[in-house]
């Protein structure tokens, strides 16, 4: 088949899908809030944040969480929030395989941006599944990353207002994705970002056709009874074993202080492709007895309760939810002042210690200071717990209520 014929086939398929998904909604259909997520069964701050929001909204709305793919039998975080429906576009478990899925899975998506992260998870199969799930719906659809935001905008389901949510700072997105945002984000009902710095950055990029920009930070889940042991000699870190999380920087910093504090240990919870490289770094620094790569923690609360210091060593973030959870549990926290998020949360030497980005010596010094000064640990931990209360769903949720009500009302008037 020639390239010209292929392009004609793609255009025809797009028109067919768009005509299908843009059918007039049933005016009697109940309104629903739909959250689009890469993997509802996965781990990470975006997943946790989406679960928190879904659980809150389910108290007053019908909520459908659409996961792009599913590979696990059970969600990483144990259970889904009560009152929500969860489904996957591409169920990749062996028992879910069908001939139709196999045939369509090999065809590229007609809608998802090819330069966006996770593009390999999209196909003609996911296009058709999403169109079928959205057709005839009324309410609001919330995307949780640029590709999903733009996908919802392009489908333009008549009964659905679209809210985009950005979980990472603008600089982490490629120039191709940013250019696509400029062209397509103007059709969003609203764009939610996590920090004031994000709001300014996205405003500059999207001006003069920026959608409504709202700053709504991520929220900590309910963690009743979880309290750090401030006498513990354990430093905790958690996240994907990925360059973004900077665990190689943390190990290098801990190597400076470990000989001075033989009773202290560093425990890193997470999984990822850098495990072997990080283990080699630990072995080369002769930290085997003091540093452990513990694997993913399904119950992070137990980890919080056995540590007194939490370290965020990321090179960049969106709004580090695990840092907020550690603060909520009353740990004394140390963080690089990376873009973006930590500066919005940490007031240096009041509720934690803030270190210049990627400064290994500074990180070592901050960890050393907290190790040596239990009074400082306790003071920072108590202030951290107080700070985290401002990021509970009870505090942040009403902002989502107002936004969804306004966006839906605006769409209904068109």
Which long-range contacts (C-beta less than 8 Å, at least 24 apart) are formed by 404-413?
404/33, 404/57, 404/61, 404/140, 404/163, 406/190, 407/140, 407/161, 407/163, 407/189, 407/190, 407/212, 408/31, 408/139, 408/140, 408/161, 410/161, 410/189, 411/160, 411/161, 411/189
Say whether both 67 and 168 belong to one domain. yes
The pLDDT, as a whole number, for residue 221 is: 86
Taking a C-beta distance cutoff of 8 angstroms, is the pair 191, 214 a contact?
yes
Q: Are 89 and 169 within one domain?
A: yes
Provide the domain limits for residue 252: 234-391
Into how many domains does the chain fold? 2
pLDDT band at 222 (very low <50, low <70, confident <90, very high): confident
Phi, psi of 354 (to 5 degrees): -110, 125
Query: Looking at residue 239, which CATH number applies to its domain?
Result: 3.40.50.2000
Regarding whether 358 and 252 lie in a shared domain, the answer is yes
pLDDT value of residue 5: 75
Do residues 168 and 272 share a domain? no
> What are the helix (H) ranges across 263-299?
275-284
Q: Is residue 7 part of a domain?
A: yes
The 10s digit of each residue's pLDDT in 319-360 is 899 999 999 999 999 999 999 899 999 999 999 999 999 999
Residue 10 lies in a domain: yes
In tens, the pLDDT along 380-399 reads 999 999 999 999 999 999 99
Q: Give 108's Cβ-side CA count (13 Å radius).
A: 11
- Locate 197 and state its tokens: 């710095």
Residue 411 has pLDDT above 80, yes or no: no
Rounded to an integer, the average pLDDT of 280-287 is 96
Q: Which helix (H) or strand (E) holds 135?
A: none
């Amino acid at each position: 088949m020639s390239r010209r014929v292929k392009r004609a086939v793609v255009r025809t398929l797009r028109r067919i899908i768009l005509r299908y998904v843009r059918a007039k909604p049933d005016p009697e259909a109940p309104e629903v809030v739909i959250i689009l997520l890469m993997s509802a069964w996965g781990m990470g701050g975006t997943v946790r944040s989406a679960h928190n929001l879904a659980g809150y909204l389910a108290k007053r709305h019908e909520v459908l969480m659409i996961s792009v793919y599913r590979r696990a039998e059970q969600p990483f975080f144990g259970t889904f929030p009560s009152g929500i429906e969860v489904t996957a576009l591409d169920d990749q478990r062996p028992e879910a395989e069908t001939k139709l899925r196999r045939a369509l899975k090999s065809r590229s998506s007609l809608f998802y941006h090819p330069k966006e992260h996770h593009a390999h998870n999209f196909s003609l199969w996911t296009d058709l599944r999403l169109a079928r799930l959205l057709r005839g719906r009324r309410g609001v659809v919330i995307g949780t990353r640029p590709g999903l935001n733009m996908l919802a905008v392009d489908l333009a389901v008549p009964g659905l207002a679209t809210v985009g949510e950005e979980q990472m700072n603008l600089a982490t997105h490629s120039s191709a994705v940013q250019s696509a945002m400029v062209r397509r984000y103007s059709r969003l009902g609203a764009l939610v970002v996590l920090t004031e710095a994000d709001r300014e950055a996205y405003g500059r990029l999207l001006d003069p056709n920026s959608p409504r920009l709202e700053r709504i930070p991520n929220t900590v889940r309910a963690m009743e009874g979880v309290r750090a042991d401030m006498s513990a000699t354990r430093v905790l870190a958690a996240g994907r074993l990925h360059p973004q999380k900077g665990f190689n920087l943390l190990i290098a910093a801990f190597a400076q202080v470990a000989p001075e504090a033989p009773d202290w240990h560093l425990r890193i919870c997470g999984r990822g492709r850098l495990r072997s490289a990080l283990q080699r770094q630990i072995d080369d620094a002769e930290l085997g007895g003091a540093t452990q790569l513990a694997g993913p923690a399904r119950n992070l609360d137990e980890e919080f309760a056995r540590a007194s210091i939490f370290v965020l060593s990321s090179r960049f973030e969106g709004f580090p939810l695990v840092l907020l959870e550690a603060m909520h549990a009353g740990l004394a926290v140390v963080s690089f002042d990376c873009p973006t998020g930590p500066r919005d949360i940490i007031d240096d030497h009041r509720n934690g210690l803030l270190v210049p980005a990627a400064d290994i010596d500074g990180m070592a010094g901050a960890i050393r200071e907290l190790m040596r000064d239990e009074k400082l640990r306790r003071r920072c931990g108590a202030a951290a717990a107080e700070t985290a209360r401002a990021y509970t769903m009870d505090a942040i949720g009403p902002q989502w209520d107002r936004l969804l009500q306004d966006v839906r009302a605006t769409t209904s008037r068109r």
